[in-house]
């Protein structure tokens, strides 16, 4: 097996390399420290390293899990990443062998690493070419081009090309019996065949210096360019919540020393939220999947984060230097982003689920809403009626709670006040109790539970909104009032298990109520019904002859990863055939009702529910099935606006199952 190959790069000025290396790393270190100081102007936030963060880092930084959801750019990025990783190992191996005298770069290790460096390096050259072609020729809508993008591509390509030239010149000057293990280098060496040894050595030395300067220049440039995402993105992935939109961080409403609710100025974001801005690589995937942006609203999640970064770069250095409040004062709304952007968000979390570096958009928007709602009372006028209804009657419809007694009167369901010794609390939510259309869904679920012999009760006139819309519209005080009232009632009755029909209730009770001492086993009705069918307690027998398409609710799917149970339930019903929409599962397109948008008018651009209805109609299905009262309402309105409501039916899964079970 070979010893290390003669590198032909040592000369009298070799020591200069180490001086340049120290300079490059000093510039790099200063850049990193400067960015760190900018993050630290944010509010404190404590993080405990956990195994979930490490696994997430391995899967997404090294495994490129999210990047590979788009195969073209994902594969190109992965090849470039691994090429640089392997070449860094190779360079370090050479340094250890030549400078420390440790015989590392030899034998089988030398052969395998040489082959890997050549093949991956060639792949990286092609990958950078593809990235340039995609960015400057194809120009997908999600990408915007800045000078930094071009500089970065050219610099990486220059490092790769000069690296192959260096290898080829070395092999041309010094014949290598193991050339087959360096196929790209051998091909380049063939271009210089016939050259004089002295000329080849001189050319090698010149290219070596060029390659060195490019490489050290790249290291120094990292903190000042988009390449900084190698560090900030990795840190962000490791420190992310994993599903930040799922539960908002509570405000201590009883702390009388708190003077600010939500975020009005830059430094009120946490340092982790400011790190988000540096992690963002402007890939546009959040924007490409944002229902608000895709329907002509002013919100772009990418632009929002980049606007925060621009503001951080402007105001951050002043804050670091201890500038006065007057010198740094700037309201994020409307000085950095406008109100229309803040209120356009449906909190569907499509942005967060597509982001390769786990930028957490939704909590920032909710923090801005909290300031607008609780500090400035600057919220859309329609919201006032919603809040009033929740405050007075415990529901956004502002209907008397006594009306909830219909379930006992018409369906024979006992309230917990009448019969507390039941296994499950059935929590149909405000829509299931007070909305006429969704009362039919509640009826279907109740009849199915009764047929299966499930022991359950309801709250009846004690039914109160879970508070989801209040929290996501920024009214944290109202949310906590509703949540604490519900938790007190549930705990008083000794509730342990809850069945919900609304994914918003499901997410709130399951993931957010524990913040206030409400710990329950919460199950969504489709999951529960699917289990009853599996156990044979419900037996779909009657054929429901229909072709349907299932719409994934954001709060059921992306928020809580419930995708298979609804489809399994549909598959159990005789006569049903299903067609998937192009945007389904985790890429499902929002109905437009989340984040409190259910209660707001939609006056800018195309209606989100109409666009989603159009996507459903493209499948040719005669029935649109959902498992969310908000989605059902929005899709039903969509079919009416498209004038197809007579031919295309909209139903909840429970209604379809009841047709078959009767």
- What percent of the chain is predicted at pLDDT more than 90? 87
Q: How far apart are the first and last CA of the chain?
A: 77
pLDDT (tens digit per residue) in 272-321: 999 999 999 999 999 999 999 999 999 999 999 999 999 999 999 999 99
Over residues 359-374, the mean pLDDT reads 98
Task: Please compute Rg for the chain using Cα positions.
Answer: 30
- What is the reported pLDDT for 11? 52
Is residue 458 within 8 A of residue 408, CB to CB? The reply is: yes
The CA-based diameter of the chain, rounded to the nearest angstrom, is 101
- What is the reported pLDDT for 12? 60
Three-state secondary structure call for residue 222: helix
User: In whole numbers, what is the pLDDT of the chain averaged over residues?
Assistant: 94
pLDDT (tens digit per residue) in 498-522: 999 999 999 999 999 999 999 999 9
Q: Is the pLDDT of residue 650 over 60?
A: yes
Over residues 23-41, the mean pLDDT reads 97
Global confidence as pTM: 0.94
Q: Is the pLDDT of residue 1 over 80?
A: no
Q: Is the pLDDT of residue 474 over 60?
A: yes
The residue that leads in pLDDT, 202 or 558, is 558
Fold (topology level) of 261-375: Fumarate Reductase Iron-sulfur Protein; Chain B, domain 2 (1.10.1060)
Q: Is the pLDDT of residue 330 over 90?
A: no
Q: Of the candidates 442, 444, 426, 440, which has an alpha carbon nearest to the alpha carbon of residue 509?
A: 426
Can you give the residue ranges of every domain in the chain? Answer: 48-238, 261-375, 390-530, 534-661
Q: Is the pLDDT of residue 162 over 80?
A: yes
- What is the reported pLDDT for 4? 39
Task: Identify the bridge partners of residue 498 per DSSP, sorted by sequence position.
Answer: 425, 522
Over residues 593-621, the mean pLDDT reads 97
Q: Is the pLDDT of residue 546 over 80?
A: yes
Q: How confident is the model at residue 70 (pLDDT cuts 50, 70, 90)?
A: very high
Q: What is the CATH number of domain 534-661?
A: 3.40.50
- What is the reported pLDDT for 108? 87
Q: Is the pLDDT of residue 107 over 90?
A: no
Is residue 538 within 8 A of residue 448, CB to CB? The reply is: yes
- Domains 390-530 and 534-661 fall in the same CATH topology: yes
CA distance linking residue 205 with residue 636, whole number of Å:
72
- What is the reported pLDDT for 654? 98
Q: Is the pLDDT of residue 207 over 50?
A: yes
Fold (topology level) of 390-530: Rossmann fold (3.40.50)
- What is the reported pLDDT for 6? 44
């Amino acid at each position: 097996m070979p010893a290390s190959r003669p590198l032909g790069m040592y000369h009298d000025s070799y020591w200069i390399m180490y001086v340049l290396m120290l300079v490059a790393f000093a510039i790099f270190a200063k850049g990193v420290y400067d960015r760190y100081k900018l993050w630290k102007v944010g509010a404190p936030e404590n993080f405990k390293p956990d195994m979930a963060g490490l696994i997430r880092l391995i899967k997404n930084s090294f495994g490129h899990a999210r990047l590979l959801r788009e195969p073209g750019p994902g594969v190109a990025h992965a090849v470039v990443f691994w090429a640089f990783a392997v070449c860094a190992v190779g360079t370090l191996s050479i340094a250890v062998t030549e400078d420390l005298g440790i015989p590392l770069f030899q034998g089988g290790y030398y052969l395998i690493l040489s082959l890997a460096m050549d093949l991956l390096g060639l792949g990286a050259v092609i990958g950078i070419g593809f990235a340039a072609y995609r960015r400057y020729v194809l120009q997908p809508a999600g990408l915007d081009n800045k000078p930094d993008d071009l500089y970065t591509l050219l610099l990486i390509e220059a490092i790769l090309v000069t690296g192959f030239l260096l290898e080829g010149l070395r092999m041309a000057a010094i014949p290598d019996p193991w050339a087959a293990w360096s196929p790209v280098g051998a091909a380049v060496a063939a271009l210089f065949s016939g050259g004089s040894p002295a000329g080849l050595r001189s050319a090698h030395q010149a290219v070596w210096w060029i390659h060195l300067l490019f490489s050290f220049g790249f290291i120094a440039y990292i903190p000042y360019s988009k390449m900084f995402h190698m560090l900030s993105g990795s840190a962000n992935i490791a420190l992310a919540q994993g599903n930040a939109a799922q539960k908002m961080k509570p405000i201590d409403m009883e702390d009388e020393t708190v003077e600010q609710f939500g975020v009005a100025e830059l430094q009120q974001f946490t340092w982790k939220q400011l790190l988000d801005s540096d992690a963002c690589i402007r890939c546009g995937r959040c924007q490409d999947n944002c229902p608000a942006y895709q329907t002509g609203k002013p919100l772009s999640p990418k632009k929002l984060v980049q606007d925060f970064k621009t503001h951080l770069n402007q105001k951050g250095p002043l804050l670091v230097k201890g500038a006065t409040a007057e010198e740094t004062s700037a309201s994020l709304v409307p000085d950095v982003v406008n109100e229309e952007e803040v209120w356009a968000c449906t909190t569907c979390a499509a942005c967060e689920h597509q982001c390769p570096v786990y930028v957490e958009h939704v909590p920032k928007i909710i923090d801005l809403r909290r300031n607008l709602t609780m500090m400035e009372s600057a919220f859309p006028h329609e919201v006032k009626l919603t809040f009033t209804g929740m405050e007075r009657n415990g529901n956004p419809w502002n209907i008397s709670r006594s009306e909830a007694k219909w379930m006992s009167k018409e369906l024979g369901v006992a309230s917990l006040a009448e019969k507390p010794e039941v296994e499950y609390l059935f929590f149909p939510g405000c829509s299931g109790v007070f909305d006429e259309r969704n009362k039919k869904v509640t009826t279907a679920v109740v009849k199915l539970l009764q047929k299966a012999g499930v022991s359950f009760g309801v709250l009846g006139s004690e039914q109160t909104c879970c508070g989801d819309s209040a929290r996501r519209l920024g009214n944290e005080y109202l949310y906590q009032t509703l949540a604490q009232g519900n938790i007190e009632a549930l705990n008083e009755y000794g509730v342990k298990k809850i069945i919900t029909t609304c994914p918003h209730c499901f997410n709130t009770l399951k993931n957010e109520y524990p913040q206030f001492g409400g710990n329950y086993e919460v199950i969504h009705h489709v999951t529960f019904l699917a289990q009853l069918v599996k156990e044979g307690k419900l037996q779909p027998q009657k054929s429901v002859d229909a072709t349907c398409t299932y719409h994934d609710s954001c709060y059921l799917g992306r928020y809580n990863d419930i995708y298979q149970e609804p489809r399994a339930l549909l598959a159990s019903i005789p006569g049903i055939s299903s067609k998937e929409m192009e945007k389904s599962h985790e890429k499902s397109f929002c109905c437009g009702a989340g984040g409190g948008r259910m209660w707001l008018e939609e006056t800018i651009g195309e209606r989100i529910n109409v666009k989603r209805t159009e996507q459903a109609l493209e499948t040719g299905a005669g029935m649109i099935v959902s498992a969310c009262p908000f989605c059902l309402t929005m899709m039903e309105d969509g079919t009416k606006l498209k004038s197809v409501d007579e031919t295309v039916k909209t139903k909840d899964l429970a209604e379809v199952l009841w047709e078959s079970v009767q």
